[in-house]
Structure 1
Amino acid sequence: MTLNLVDSHCHLDFEDFGSDFDAVLARAKESGVARMLTICTRVTKFEQVLKIAEASDNIRCTVGIHPHEAENEPDVDVARLAELAKHPKVVGIGEAGLDYFYDKSPRQRQQEVFATHIEASRVTGLPIVVHSRDADEDTVRLLQDGAKKGGLTGVIHCFTSTQYLADAALEMGFYISLSGIVTFKSAAALRDVAKTIPHDRLLVETDSPYLAPIPMRGKRNEPAFVTHTAGFVADFLGMPLADLAAKTTANFDRLFTKAAA
Structure 2
Amino acid sequence: MLVDSHCHLNFPDLASRMDDVRANMAANAVSHALLIGVNRPDYPAVRALAEQYDNFYATVGVHPDVQDSPDFSEDELVAEAQHPKVVGIGETGLDYYWCKGDLEWQRERFRRHIRAARRSGLPLVIHTRESAQDTLAVMREAGAEQAGGVMHCFTESWEVAEGALELGFYISFSGIVTFKNATALKEVARRVPLERLLVETDSPYLAPMPHRGKTNEPAYVRHVAAHVAELRGMALEDLAAASTDNFFTLFAKASRGH
What's the TM-score once normalised by structure 2's chain length?
A: 0.96
Change (3 A) 1:160 1:67: same
Q: 1:85 aligns with which of 81, 98, 105?
A: 81
Q: Deviations over 1:114-162 (max 9, x none)?
A: 11001111111100000001101110011011227x6221100000012
Q: 1:19 aligns with which of 16, 19, 22?
A: 16
Structure 2 residues not aligned, in runs of 5+:
none
Deviation, structure 1 residue 106:
5.2
* 1:104 shift after superposition: 6.8
Q: Which amino acid aligns with 2:13?
A: D
**For residue 7 of structure 2, what is the aligned residue in structure 1?**
10
Q: CA deviation at 1:19?
A: 2.5
Fraction of identical pairs, as percent: 50
- Residue 247 of structure 2 aligns with an amino acid whose one-letter code is F
Aligned to 1:100: 96
Q: Which residue of 1 aligns with 2:35?
A: 38
Match of 2:122 in 1: 126
Q: 2:138 aligns with which of 119, 137, 142?
A: 142
Q: Could you list the per-position Cα deviations for residues 35-54 of structure 1 after superposition, in whole angstroms to 9, with x for gaps in the alignment?
A: 00000001222111011111
Count the aligned residue pairs: 256
Alpha-carbon distance between aligned partners in 1 of 2:79 and 2:150, rounded to the nearest angstrom: 22
Indicate how the Cα distance of structure 1 residues 105 and 50 shifts in structure 2: closer, same or farther if over 3 A, else same. farther
Match of 2:151 in 1: 156
Shift of 1:81: 0.2
Equivalent position SS for 2:253: helix
Give the TM-score of the pair, scaled to structure 1: 0.95
**Any unmatched runs of 5+ in structure 1?**
none
Output the aligned Cα RMSD: 1.4
**Which secondary structure does the structure 2 equivalent of 1:122 belong to?**
helix
* Aligned residue in 2 for 1:109: 105
Match of residue 183, structure 1, among 178, 182, 186: 178
The CA deviation string for residues 150-202 of structure 1, in whole angstroms up to 9 with x for no partner, is: 62211000000122220110001000000000000110011112222100000
* Residue of structure 2 in register with 1:73 after alignment: 69
Mapped to 2, the partners of 1:258 and 1:104 lie a distance apart of 36
Q: Measured at CA, do residues 24 and 106 of structure 1 come closer, stay the same or move farther in structure 2, by a change above 3 Å?
A: farther
Q: Is the 8 A contact 2:40 2:71 kept in 1?
A: no
- Structure 1: which amino acid aligns with 2:125? V
